[in-house]
Chains A and B, each alone.
Chain A
Amino acid sequence: MALLRDAVPRLGATRGDPDESVEQILARGTDRLFSCDSPLGKVYVGVTEKGVRLVGKAASPEGFARRYRERFDRLLSWGTDEWTRRLAERLAAALAGKKVEVPADLSETTPFQRRVLEVVKGIPRGEVRPYAWVAREAGSPKASRAVGSVMANNPVPLLVPCHRVVRNDGTTGNYAFGAGEKVGLLEGEGVPVEELAGSLYLATPTTGIFCHATCRNARRIKPVNRRRFRSANAATNAGFRPCKVCRPAVAG
């Protein structure tokens, strides 16, 4: 039997590059992890072959990986592969405010959650929208509350900018990382947070149109012409029509 054992290790030489095998096995069997600077400080990011699946803060990579495992039943390994490196670069650019498309893996979410997250992903930097608007845009106008819980469980904060969704009265509301962080993020993006509270809508008599106060069209209105409104309904009752760019939601 000694013969059998001695001869066997030589067979090991017939297989390919061991590093490559390890990499291939990890790529197929685990999801990948990297950390990244963000406006919230250091965040951990879990990715699949489809895109970014979870973004979050944690005291340690182990803590983040355990949370990931509980949520998705998958192990995380350090993303040493080319795909993860590219995603990390793109995400870093996007978080720094550049217009870069970063794929997200939302396969574990319900169709409603996905519609809501897609709508929120489209809110531009420097602008905010109320929960009711997101609900309407996602095709479920009565689901403001449900939008709130989708935001609270958003697996990919910052990438899907749930911090840009505010209460219907214009106050900023809560945030998974703390209400203070939300205000800080919005101010960092140039949103006049204090001005918005209580007057989320702006109208101008020159055109007879009203907008979300952070809409690019609203920001061009001269200070003398600015008419502030608490709600979209108050603006329509005063004879203004909704802007076609930011489409304020008027309750039926």
Chain B
Amino acid sequence: MDTELNGANGMRSGDPLARRLAEGDPGAPGAMVERHHAELYRYARALLRDTPAAEDAVQEAFERAFAALGKYPEERIAALSLRPWMYRIVLNVVRNAWRDGRREVSVAETPEEAEERFEMAPGSTPGADTDAWLDALDAMDRLSERQRVAVALRYLEDLPYAGISEATGWPENTCKTLVRRGIGRLGALLSEGSDAKNGNGGS
């Protein structure tokens, strides 16, 4: 995957792509979309649980990012940490979607429908790990919003805590706490879930 990026825990130390954007390289916007699209999509998908909505959110995030880059002075663009910055924009867009869609949540697709869609997806094998994966996402839905965001960034996106802090605006220690508590709760929810499936009850 993005080893060149992930290796850079020193994300602050100047991303060559940010410098290319600052210099006006007409190839840079395309390179930026190619480099970050998949991970941002995955992140939005984990937060929104809806494929078209996640696609829209990522599109809108890039649009906002490019609009902002058009207005920033050159030095500011060159100093940007693109990755956490993009995660932050996606989060803002996702929050808007959550707010606008709150009323629709109750009529959203049932887990069964969602499962069907996954199974139709090319390359996915229906079966035990799909179930387990859905359980995990279901459980993530039941975390608090902040925990869900922090857990997704840490464990789905492998962002270091400094990056999570940059992407959310929360202090680094808060992020650590959120992740720790989120993971704890997720574990509890998942074992509770599998107990229920095995007919052991447990409410």
The interface of chain A, by Cβ under 8 A from chain B, is 1, 3-16, 18, 21-22, 24-26, 28-30, 33, 61-66, 68-69, 72-78, 80
Contact = CB atoms under 8 A, between A and B. Distances in A.
B49 to A, nearest CB: 11
B132 to A, nearest CB: 6
B34 interface: yes
Contacts of B26: 33, 61-62, 65, 76-78
Interface stretch (B3-11, B104-112, B118-126, B166-174): B118-126
Nearest to B137: A4
A48 to B, nearest CB: 12
B98 interface: no
Interface residues of B, number: 46
A76 B30 contact: no
Interface string B16-39: 000001011111111001100110
B178 interface: no
Interface in B38-80: 38, 41-42, 45-46, 51, 55, 58-59, 62-63, 65-67, 69-71, 74
B136 A4 contact: yes
Contacts of A4: 133, 136-137, 155-156
> Quick one: which of A21, A29, A74, A80 has the most chain B CB within 10 A?
A29
Contacts of B41: 12, 15
A28 B59 contact: yes
B21 A75 contact: yes
B129 interface: yes
B42 A77 contact: no
A62 B123 contact: no
Nearest to B62: A25
B42 to A, nearest CB: 6
